[in-house]
Amino acid sequence: MLPRNIALKLFITVVTASLFVGCNKTRDYKNSSRATGWKMNAKEGGFQYDPMAKEQETGPGLVFVEGGTFTMGRVQDDPMHDWNNTPTQQHVQSFYMDETEVTNLMYLEYLDWLKKVFPPSDENYRRIYDGAVPDTLVWRNRLGYNEVMTNNYLRHPAYAEYPVVGVSWIQAVEFANWRTDRVNEMLLEKEGITARNAKYDVKPGESFNTETYLNAPKFTYGGNDSITRGGKKSEQIAKRSKDSTNLYVNRESGLILPAYRLPTEAEWEYAALGMSGLRNYNIYRGKKKYPWEGQYTRSGNRKTRGDQMANFKQGAGDYGGIAGWSDDGADITAKVKSYAPNDYGLYDMAGNVAEWVADVYRPIVDDDYNDFNYYRGNVYTKNAIDENGKVKVVTKDSIIFDTLSNGRIVARNLPGAILQVPIGEEETYLRTNFSKSDNRDYRDGDKPSTRYFQSFGGDDSDEIAEPSERMYNSPLPKVYADSTGNLDKQYDKSSSRTTLIDNEVRVYKGGSWRDRDYWLDPAQRRYFPQDMATDYIGFRCAMSRVGSKNQKGKRPRN
């Protein structure tokens, strides 16, 4: 039998050895691949990744909205019986949404950037700026004096924090694309990847584009690598890199944010309802008629009792109430954050201005086909590739301009962006989840959904040959531009049109300063041509959530 002191020393030795081996195993486990056992981030080479990468950063101006299940289209009042609000159960993933509507100040920053980078004095760029400027004439009324808004609303500092109007759906989408690039450009500069302050001295065609940087970084900033890799961190990486694989940031870094975009109809309605304050063991208590609790438009709070909760038209000839205590504080639009936010912290989800959403309008939401992240409007594209196998980047001479139905000319793409083309058979062959590029009229407007379709006729084409056989035979005005830029506008004179619905009309949600409280219900939906604008429709941006469903993890209720 061993003496007690020897046995104790032997025990301590065994425990220490086991702990040392255990620590080594843990350390090796953390630094090696669970797939191959190879060392991760080895100086000698191999697979590299950032172990310190964090979850998605909240972009400027955004608020996090945790996704979930809700009943979409459940209106509280439907006296019009227009049959476009059938309740459907939908599930939306977590996302981010602008805290407020996009303001005149935010939009003026966009116009200022366009004017500096693509000066209107250059004939090649003139239509870029002109196509982005809001239509200030939307304020005019045949029997009303509104010239003060026509001349001042967009640019006067008194209206800086008011929601921008006169913006078409197409213009709103282009603003979101521009915002994506500017935010990611800022993040790369802060991280020390790109040269400091390069964004202030950008030449035409040499601007930063997110997708160009991710897919062909050497084409960013017009191919000026001294800017693209001009940051201190880039210089350090270049010194210790054996090849060029780590000289540019990619999606794996987690630094690049997803795109700013218009929210889908399902996202907007879910966010407007603000049901986070009504959850009780995953059961919704009662129904909500407005983005706030209760069935009334005036506050029941002791300190603010009687105050209007939103800016809307209270009756014929009554846009704000009698001046004084009962006034809602606005007759046209109001300054953002003038009213209390909903439970998600979002302002003006009812009243002020109605808002564009991403969806193409159809009377029926097709939940039988999809009840997860529902969205109608997918048009799938891919990067154009030249004969040398490289992506085609839009240049000064290859900008594509579209002539809209109202005669306005807008740029479809900007210099520095990657040219997009429709997907083809390479992407759709033997797929079951999509079969073509343009899916806007899928199951409601395409050939198989019309009364003229015969599956046994042997015609496999989805294209509708005869215009008279279209399911939605909306008017087809035509606008032609000659070589000098003069427009020939031709109205559709057909007397057989029965609808205004087609693939060019988009949904807009929420009541506005021009609307009665009936339209404040988040479930209400209307539509408007995507290339036209009004004095009561604005917009806000959204961004998809990458990674976990919630930001702080699941927590006990009590």
Ordered per-residue pLDDT tens for the chain, 558 residues? 556 666 666 666 665 655 555 544 444 456 788 899 898 888 777 887 777 777 888 999 999 999 999 999 988 777 777 778 888 999 999 999 999 999 999 999 999 999 999 999 988 898 999 999 999 999 999 999 999 999 999 999 999 999 999 999 999 999 999 999 999 999 999 999 999 998 898 888 789 999 999 999 999 998 898 899 888 888 777 766 655 556 788 888 889 999 999 999 999 999 999 876 544 444 444 456 778 777 777 777 777 776 777 888 888 888 877 776 667 788 899 999 999 899 899 999 999 999 999 999 999 888 888 999 999 999 999 999 999 889 999 998 889 888 888 888 899 899 999 999 999 999 999 999 999 999 999 999 998 888 888 776 655 667 776 777 888 989 888 887 766 667 788 888 888 888 999 999 999 999 999 998 889 999 999 999 999 999 999 999 999 999 888 877 666 555
Phi and psi at 330, nearest 5°, equal: -155, 150
Write down the pLDDT at residue 41. Answer: 81
Integer CA distances (angstroms), 180 to 185, 186, 198, 249, 328, in order: 8, 10, 17, 16, 35
Q: How far is CA 200 from the centre of its chain?
A: 25
For 89, list phi and psi in degrees, rounded to 5: -85, 125
Task: Provide the greatest CA pair distance for the chain.
Answer: 111
pTM recorded for the entire structure: 0.90
Distance of CA 419 to the CA centre of its chain: 20
- Spatial CA neighbour of 263 closest among 541, 552, 48, 556: 541
Distance CA 242, CA 244 (A): 7
Residue whose structure tokens are 């995507």: 530
Architecture label for domain 57-191+255-377+507-552? Alpha-Beta Complex (3.90)
